[in-house]
Structure 1
Amino acid sequence: MASASAISYDLSVNPRPRVVLGHVGNEREPVLIVDDLLNHPAALIDYATWEVAFTPAGNPDGGYPGVRAAAPLNYVEAVVRALSPIVEQAFKLRNVALSNAECSLSITTTPPEQLTVQQRTPHIDTVYPLQFALLHYLCAPDFGGTSFYRHRATGYETLDEARAAAYDAARARELVEDVPPQRYVGGDSLHYVRIGGCDARFNRMAIYRSCLLHSGHISEDKPLVPSPCEGRLTANIFVNYRQC
């Protein structure tokens, strides 16, 4: 049940958003772009400004490079309910049921010189193939979007349980030979090829499988401030399905 404070904000989903389905890489992984997602997106920024406290999300091993706070449940429920049929069709899901969804409001704040090795490298969120990332941009386009990658040595663009050991072994060897530069991931590198991406756009949502190698494409020209109104604010929803 949504809190009383959350209910006071209009977080309703636009019944007619603009939806574009694309595919990236050799594996032709689907990526959905949904524009004009909320009827009143500024209401979610207001909620982030006045109703929650952001706390550091990173850890010594990596994690999200910034601060996070809990998202309102009525927003999460409305988005998942509206977009689940589109996700199931785009990713050709059959005989599945929604299992759970979790969401955080996130602001990128970590300076490049403080990033861990993992934060300077493309990553996945899980090897579970039925988890999907729904990334809602609530910031200006010049903060940068999200990029997707292929690992050169293995050719992998997605990871599953069968691929994880070979990928981890290759990465361990590579990190002995070459430590990634002290900056946010920004395109092709010695060990990764950028295979596509999604530009940030206010009130745009990007949807992709969580096992797809990806990284935030963070602009070096914008200050990373912890303000929902002035910083790189996103809402990050992870939706899990289970096979029936």
Structure 2
Amino acid sequence: MRDLKLNPKMSIEKKLIPGTTLCVYIIDDFLLDAASVINFAYNIAYFNPMFSDNSYYPGKRDNMPQPYLDLLQTFFQNTMLPVLELGNDYSATVHKCLLSLITCEPSSLLLEQKIPHIDSCDGDDYAFVHYLSPAELGGTSIYKYTPENLIQFSEEHRYLLEHMMPKVENSQEEHHGYINSTTSLFEQVLTIKAKFNRLIIYQGNLLHSANITCTKSYSNNPKQGRLSIASFASIKSN
């Protein structure tokens, strides 16, 4: 993966999340050539089973090689921090990059896997999704937790994550599989479509979920299923 390079002709779009002052950043044609990443995914990666990364991700994962993490780190620090308009006194750290393949059928999901989630309660933490499969296999949506009118969760809202579960359990007729539209508890406020070699970036404390709308989206075969790279980073003032 030594030939991994950023595409100098990539495009960066800032999309406002309705009802907030926050944005999702959409980077198209992120890599100059994704062949080495695809080769790793198809021929080299050793996917670990569901829950092995201590998350509720409904599939299997493997760590990406260090060159990918290094490239993302450089891109986030040098290209995206200026776009985020935070000033010059910030630095970024990418913590992990996980090659991710959704494999779980809707009927086998746990309750926690049927609803949107957050990755952190810290607004300085960021999440990335790099799509490596076609658009029809599903993008990502941002949600609002309607009972509390919350899209972005901070530490003071952590208790709500447990309190929402009984409400979900009492409305299982709406939450019987992958969530991909508005329900009585969760309003879908923004949807970003998948596109091969598209990278999206958003704050990790935003309520979000993958859009799994067709049976092709979950598969044990990385050549057929919804393949992506989920990465996580944080920023801090120097």
TM-score norm. by structure 1 comes to 0.89
- Distance, in Å, in 2 between the alignment partners of 1:176 and 1:134 is 29
Secondary structure at 2:57 match in 1: coil
Q: 1:11 to 1:227 in 2, by over 3 A?
A: farther
Check conservation: 1:100, 1:240, Cα contact below 8 A. yes
Distance 1:175 1:16, change over 3 A: same
Q: Secondary structure of 1:132's partner?
A: strand
Indicate the percent of aligned positions where both proteins have the same amino acid. 26
Per the TM alignment, residue 223 of structure 1 is displaced from its structure 2 partner at its CA by 5.2
Whole-Å separation in 1 of the counterparts to 2:126 and 2:79: 12
Aligned residues: 235
1:151-195 residue CA offsets vs partner (Å, 9 max, x unmatched): 111011010112222x23641451353235321011100101101
> Secondary structure at the residue paired with 2:216?
coil
Q: Name 1:54's counterpart in structure 2.
A: 47
**1:1-48 CA deviation, whole Å, 9 max, x = no partner?**
xxxxx33xx321112201111111212321000000111113211111
The equivalences for 1:155-174 within 5 A come to 155-165=149-159, 167-168=160-161, 170-174=163-167
Cα shift readout 1:40-91 (whole Å, capped 9, x = no counterpart): 11321111122221111337x9611001011011112112212333432333
Aligned counterpart, 2:139? 145
1:127–1:159 Cα contact (<8 Å) kept: yes
Cα 1:36–1:159, aligned 2, differ >3 Å: closer, same or farther? same
When structure 1 is superposed on structure 2, of 216-225 and 154-163 the one drifting more is 216-225
CA distance in 1: counterparts of 2:120 and 2:203, whole angstroms: 9
The 1:40/1:192 distance shift into structure 2, 3 A limit, reads same
Shift of 1:118: 0.8
Deviations 1:122-170 (A, max 9, x none): 10001121111111000011101000001111011010112222x2364
1:238 is aligned to 232
Q: Does structure 2 conserve the Cα–Cα contact (< 8 Å) formed by 1:70 and 1:104?
A: yes
Q: How does 1:1-244 map to 2 (within 5 A)?
A: 6-7=1-2, 10-58=3-51, 63-94=56-87, 95-165=89-159, 167-168=160-161, 170-175=163-168, 177-179=170-172, 180-222=174-216, 224-244=218-238
Unaligned runs of at least 5 residues, structure 1: 1-5
Equivalent residue letter for 2:221: S
CA distance in 1, matches of 2:125, 2:234: 4
Q: CA deviation at 1:221?
A: 3.9
TM-aligned CA deviation for residue 99 of structure 1: 3.4
* Local SS of the residue matching 1:150: strand
Structural RMSD (CA): 1.9
Query: How far apart, in 1, do the equivalents of 2:11 and 2:58 lie?
Result: 30
- Detail structure 1 runs of 4+ shifted over 6 Å in the superposition: none
User: Partners in 2 of 1:19 and 1:77 — Cα distance?
Assistant: 20
Whole-angstrom distance in 1 between the partners of 2:70 and 2:180:
33
Is the Cα contact below 8 Å between 1:130 and 1:240 reproduced in 2?
yes
Unaligned ranges ≥5, structure 2: none
Q: Which moved more, 1:143-152 or 1:88-97?
A: 88-97
After TM superposition, the score normalised by the length of structure 2 is: 0.91
**Are the structure 2 counterparts of residues 101 and 124 from structure 1 closer, same or farther at C-alpha, using a change threshold of 3 Å?**
same
> Are the aligned partners of 1:124 and 1:214 in contact in 2 as well (CA < 8 Å)?
yes
